[in-house]
Amino acid sequence: MHKKEELRAPVSQKPHVVEKPENIDTIGGTVTLELNEKKVTVPLGTTILDACKENNIHIPTLCHHEDLCVAGVCRLCVVEVEGMRTLQASCAYPITSPIKVHTSTPMVRQARKHIIDLLISEHYGECYSCFRNNNCELQSLAKEYGVDHYNFGHIEKPRYEVDKSSYSVIRDMDKCVLCKRCVRTCIDLQEVGVLEAVGRGDQTRISTFLDKPLADVVCINCGQCINRCPTGALRANDPRDEIWEAIDDPKKHVIIQTAPSPRAAIGEEFGQEPGLSYTKEMTTALRRIGFDKVFDTNFTADLTIMEEGTELILRLYKALVEKDNSVKVPQFTSCSPGWVKYLEHFYPEYIDNLSSAKSPQQMFGALIKTYYAEKNGINPEDIVSVALMPCSAKKFECNRPEMHDSGFKDVDYGLTTRELAQMIKEAGIFLPEMPKSNFDNPFGEASGAGLIFGATGGVMEAAIRTVYELITGKNVEDFFENMNVTPVRGFEGVKYAELPITEVGPVPDILKPLVPNWDWVKGATLKVAVVHGTANAKKVMEDIKAGGKFSECHFIEFMACPGGCLGGGGQPIPTNKEIRAKRAQAIYNEDESLTLRKSHMNENVLRLYEEFLPEGPCSHKSHKLLHTHYTERGKYIA
């Protein structure tokens, strides 16, 4: 019989894919159907739902999500197909013959209304006490279908305990509509597999392995499930109350660092089109909310490049020149806490491949309560350090026990884009109309290289801009037009690039203590890969395990979330490919508009080294503050 590995049918079932012909103009490449009595021609295998979208016919959906495989379980998208005894789920019906479809018959309308009534009857909770109020798909459906009373009753008592065990993701199963988007996100999109339906019939619920709390299973905290949940069943662990309290406490010095991705997406929370950056409006809003200082995480992204880039050079030198077998290559990036935890659970044997450099968030945290506190004469105890992140896993990361290198909790709170938008609204501010202002110094100036960390490929591009210049002594523009390292850009799940180093220059001062010369890289080819989404990470890791092409790489960027940070679990809901592409464009546009676009040219970073880390990158002190270690977690948690 067939081997299981070849045809793994995930629990959520792969969709039936009718292979579309390469050229739809060939005979049989298209099919003409009747859609509400109108003849339309679509490529063979198009679903009825997609055919309807193409033809501006609205079909309500709930379990459908374009990032995910088909489930066909909510049944809201049912339509009549002539000749079929029952209604057909349009999301799951590939058109292969000239069918006749009716999308709004009495039977169809009645069925949809019934389904909404049934879902609402089991949905506990009141809209006004839900964070998804006004951004809830169930609520929208109820409005769309004019639900004005509970036709089949309404559940009055909660049935489940809210699981608040995780630093990142909170599960409130009373709001769950069993669309299984979270299950499909976890199993198919991310290939983590923490969530699954258990029980049967009316006892069906989404649960974890052995019903354990989320903190005790292999959840990587990526929060992709939150972004795809149609209701408020999944949400991030929200620190707004604590942050307001700190802001309102005059004794506290509350600073916020802001990651590159939130600024490219936060406008969406204020009804703006995706793809517009509100960086400077956001800094003003943050000050008006009451943050004492507003810093740019891109600064420590630049610092990360210095540390991680140096680490890469050192690793390669030790491995290739000194033939030190204890040094692991390829080096993996470590900025994405979801990816880090994924590796700790699923590939713990590769922990030594992870860059020991902390993520920009945690570098920032360590510097705020040391360098910044010293420089400004503030007692680090009085500093409350908040990190605005596009990410739910950052909440976990700042709570990792090892993240106390400043002597205090380096970062006190991780705040998501959604949560900040909420705070801005609570402060009575309409973000898009804010006057513009700059970040505060000394961490206010950052390069475009730090900024593009937000998109998949960004860390790699930033590293290449720096490493190329440090090694060749030439401008990166000489190799890549307009500094855009296009081979590592784009949304392809796994990108691979070979970058030949044809010439070398003198070793720059900052690296002189570490390498004597560049002769050993001359003529070499730097092999790099960029991976986003842990399902893709799994592919690459399995390839590395098998000694394939990726095991020959020198440096691999991994991001847990599809699209990179801009698609993070703390970003505005909804998300889809188009939205993520627009956010990426916003980030790249902003990068191009800057004059400073290379991390090693950031003078504030260089000053930091001069003043605070005089021994340079990867030195003893930088190791103490800016580097970290990881935990072998494994798949089995006692």
Partner 1 sequence: MTTNKQKREGAVIFSEYERGSAIKKALSMGRDDILFELRESKLKGRGGAGFPTSTKWMLVAAAKAEEKYLICNADEGEPGTFKDRVLLLEYPELVFDAMVVGGYTLGAKHGVVYLRGEYEYMKKSLEDYLEAMRKDNLLGNNILGKEGFNFDISIFLGSGAYVCGEETALIESMEGQRGEARNKPPYPVNTGFMGMPTAVNNVETLAAVSHIVVKSGAWFKQHGTDKSTGSKLLSISGDCKKPGVYELPWGTKISELLELVGAENTKAVQVGGASGICLSRSEFDRTLAYEDAATGGSIMIFNENRDMLKVLKNFMEFFVEESCGQCTPCRIGNVKLLEGIEMIERGEYTFSYIKKLKDLGNTMKVASKCGLGQSSPNSFISILDNFSDEIFNNVNGGSHA
* Residues in contact with partner 1 by the rule CB under 8 A: 1-2, 4, 7, 9, 11, 13, 15-16, 70-76, 78, 85-87, 89, 92-94, 96, 107, 110-111, 114-115, 118-119, 121-122, 151-153, 177-178, 180, 196-197, 199-204
CA 468, 473, 475: angle at the middle one, nearest 5? 65
Active site residue 610: no
Q: In terms of CB distance, is 26 or 86 closer to partner 1? A: 86
Minimum distance between the CB of residue 2 and partner 1, rounded to whole angstroms?
4
Task: Return the half-sphere exposure (C-beta side, CA atoms, 13 A cut-off) of residue 409.
Answer: 17
How far apart CA 465 and CA 601 sit, in angstroms, is 10
DSSP summary character for residue 611: H
Which member of 268, 397, 419, 590 is catalytic?
397
Q: How many residues does the chain have?
A: 638
Minimum distance between the CB of residue 192 and partner 1, rounded to whole angstroms?
18
Q: In terms of CB distance, is 4 or 323 closer to partner 1? A: 4
Which member of 54, 322, 374, 402 is catalytic?
402
Active site residue 130: no
Minimum distance between the CB of residue 342 and partner 1, rounded to whole angstroms?
24
Cβ(516)–Cβ(440) below 8 Å: no
- 330 preceded by cis ω (within 30°)? yes
Using alpha carbons, list the distances in angstroms from residue 59 to 36, 37, 39, 286, 629.
Answer: 13, 16, 18, 40, 50
Q: In terms of CB distance, is 152 or 430 closer to partner 1? A: 152
How far apart CA 449 and CA 298 sit, in angstroms, is 8
Minimum distance between the CB of residue 532 and partner 1, rounded to whole angstroms?
28
Q: Which two tokens stand for residue 117?
A: 């009534």
Minimum distance between the CB of residue 12 and partner 1, rounded to whole angstroms?
9
How far apart CA 623 and CA 174 sit, in angstroms, is 46
Q: Which two tokens stand for residue 460?
A: 């790699």
Minimum distance between the CB of residue 157 and partner 1, rounded to whole angstroms?
16
How far apart CA 531 and CA 544 sit, in angstroms, is 13
Cβ(301)–Cβ(450) below 8 Å: yes
Which member of 394, 495, 582, 598 is catalytic?
394
Which member of 268, 269, 311, 557 is catalytic?
311
Element housing 537 (H / E): helix 534-545
Minimum distance between the CB of residue 542 and partner 1, rounded to whole angstroms?
21
Minimum distance between the CB of residue 73 and partner 1, rounded to whole angstroms?
5
Q: In terms of CB distance, is 180 or 228 closer to partner 1? A: 180
Q: In terms of CB distance, is 4 or 251 closer to partner 1? A: 4
Q: In terms of CB distance, is 118 or 329 closer to partner 1? A: 118
Active site residue 565: yes
Cβ(59)–Cβ(99) below 8 Å: no
Q: In terms of CB distance, is 116 or 511 closer to partner 1? A: 116
Nearest to 19 by CA among 29, 10, 9: 29
Q: In terms of CB distance, is 122 or 477 closer to partner 1? A: 122
Using alpha carbons, list the distances in angstroms from residue 424 to 281, 291, 428, 467.
Answer: 11, 12, 7, 39
Q: In terms of CB distance, is 177 or 234 closer to partner 1? A: 177
Active site residue 308: yes
Q: In terms of CB distance, is 79 or 312 closer to partner 1? A: 79
How far apart CA 510 and CA 400 sit, in angstroms, is 31
Minimum distance between the CB of residue 113 and partner 1, rounded to whole angstroms?
9
Tell me which residue has tokens 């409350």.
Answer: 384
Active site residue 5: no
Tell me which residue has tokens 């900025």.
Answer: 335
Active site residue 335: yes
Minimum distance between the CB of residue 105 and partner 1, rounded to whole angstroms?
11
Sequential DSSP letters for 546-601: TT-GGGG-SEEEEESSTTSGGG-TTSPS---HHHHHHHHHHHHHHHHH-S---GGG
Nearest to 47 by CA among 74, 66, 73, 28: 66
**b or e along 583-602 (b: 16 or more beta carbons within 10 Å of the residue's beta carbon)?**
bbbbbbebbeeeebbbbbbb
Active site residue 311: yes
Q: Active-site residue numbers?
A: 308, 311, 335, 355, 394, 397, 402, 565
